[in-house]
Structure 1
């Protein structure tokens, strides 16, 4: 007998609630901000720059806008003097409550979900972690700490890694966020994909092209092997009086799997390197379902669970 399997319907035993965890939108519009670091004179001026880009993507009816990793280091330029690293990171963590409240207000006012780059935060146990805050347009705030601080972050700012990686439920379905270097560890993205994400947001901060390409190549590999969309957002410009932020290199983009239903070269949107700008793309989660079930290759379905797997030992 013949069996026809609808390529748009997920295969397996998972129930609808287990699979989607929320609304699976027909189309999700994302905007990635390639953000220029420049001196600011006050917290209010910083938020004014941020709101400009939130408003731009919201005007284009975006569902998500994403900012780069460590873009809040711009706040250290308010003092107009170069502080020692320990003093600088302590001063930056003091902005956390104001940053959270201001970004939450922007998400509510502009009716858009904001991936707030990342911001060094002192957590209750006294450690400083590099945390990406997700501000949903219904007022909820989620946190995703960077799991793997780079050697640079550890030596300059004594940043420590987080311990949890979890999908975030939104009105557009479950998403994941990994900060920069974390995208270079395939196990983390597979762990998120197993939780049902279709879109991964990667705020990053790289100083030169080689560093950038490590992140980009790994992000595209994650898009192919997990059959997900990956949205990258990076900094450009410089902050001369802020330690360890002398130069930046970025080419922010929206990446897709490489198969016939997707954009040519697996790139849904791209930017000109090192120019402050925004790239916008419409992403269709149902196309991912089609590719996973009926694509030229089916990376998720063809895994050999009898031979290998990802085991999460954290919380």
Structure 2
């Protein structure tokens, strides 16, 4: 049994590094004090760093993304230190990162008590990211081998594409972390439905963490809605709904942790002793082809 914490992360204006560092450290400590072993924050949580920029810079989409790049090493060091100090695995959300090829990518890191375990880029970009943010897609999927189990990360829109989760499952992932950032309630439900479907199809767990709140100071994080949740297959020993836990409010006025427990051994057991074998009975097993391919 492992204890997980997914944050409904409220987008607050934090205008100094010290204020931000205190905010993130205190928030993570609160989850650790509740026994959480793995902490998940949402997509683009790192963009809160733009609150430290001059008002004219943080109110400009492209200037705010460029302006936080010098803060990246300090942010990574802070996240690593929090994971060590709290003795937890920490996925602190994602942020846009300027790569050596001149392209920005939406990147999420995973930290553990032993330090940084690596990163995962978002693979499927939304229209907004492509057409307005000019953020490029990543190219690879990574499975992280931890003391809690094998983890994968699918960032927001990635959860709406079955083959990405299937690839992680075939590489041994038992739990997918799904940091998300959606402005509309419809957007939240798209990611939620995708995440829950991925849990059902692959007989794994999926943990979702969303941004919430209004941030008129940031063109990137202006409006946010979503519920944190843990999804599992609807099968023996699991909740009939497939929802282990879900935060009560769609948009609380402050950051809230959803702390819940998951027995990954019981989830794995369903692959051999469940009512159905969705993981095994994948369509390719039957050679299904479309009408146009016949």
Q: Distance in 1 between matches of 2:288 and 2:26?
A: 47
Deviation at 1:243, TM superposition (A): 1.3
Per the normalisation by structure 1, the TM-score is 0.86
Q: Is the 8 A contact 2:117 2:144 kept in 1?
A: no
Q: Is the 8 A contact 2:107 2:120 kept in 1?
A: yes
Deviation at 1:172, TM superposition (A): 1.1
Counterparts of 1:54-65 in structure 2, within 5 Å, are 54-65=28-39
Residue 271 of structure 2 corresponds to residue 296 of structure 1: no
Deviation at 1:306, TM superposition (A): 5.2
Q: In the alignment, what sits opposite 1:233? A: 209
Q: Deviations over 1:147-188 (max 9, x none)?
A: 012110122221000001011111112100010000011000
Counterparts of 1:8-157 in structure 2, within 5 Å, are 27-78=1-52, 79-81=54-56, 82-157=58-133
Residue 265 of structure 2 corresponds to residue 286 of structure 1: yes
Q: Distance in 1 between matches of 2:82 and 2:243?
A: 29
Q: In the alignment, what sits opposite 2:287? A: 307
| Secondary structure, counterpart of 1:140 in structure 2 | strand
Q: Distance in 2 between matches of 1:57 and 1:30?
A: 9
Deviation at 1:308, TM superposition (A): 6.0
Counterparts of 1:248-287 in structure 2, within 5 Å, are 248-271=224-247, 272-275=249-252, 276-287=255-266
Q: Distance in 2 between matches of 1:227 and 1:306?
A: 19
Q: Distance in 1 between matches of 2:217 and 2:77?
A: 27
Q: Distance in 2 between matches of 1:106 and 1:245?
A: 24
Deviation at 1:242, TM superposition (A): 1.4
Task: Name structure 2 gaps, 5 residues minimum.
Answer: 290-294
Deviation at 1:305, TM superposition (A): 2.8
Q: Distance in 2 between matches of 1:141 and 1:290?
A: 27
Q: Deviations over 1:120-166 (max 9, x none)?
A: 11122221100011111111331000001211012222100000101
**Quick check: which one's strand share is greater?**
2
- C-alpha RMSD over aligned residues: 1.5
Q: Distance in 2 between matches of 1:302 and 1:70?
A: 35
Find 1:176's aligned residue among 119, 133, 152: 152
Q: Is the 8 A contact 1:77 1:239 kept in 2?
A: no
Q: 1:97 to 1:308 in 2, by over 3 A?
A: farther
| Secondary structure, counterpart of 1:305 in structure 2 | helix
Q: Distance in 2 between matches of 1:175 and 1:255?
A: 14
Q: Distance in 1 between matches of 2:113 and 2:42?
A: 19
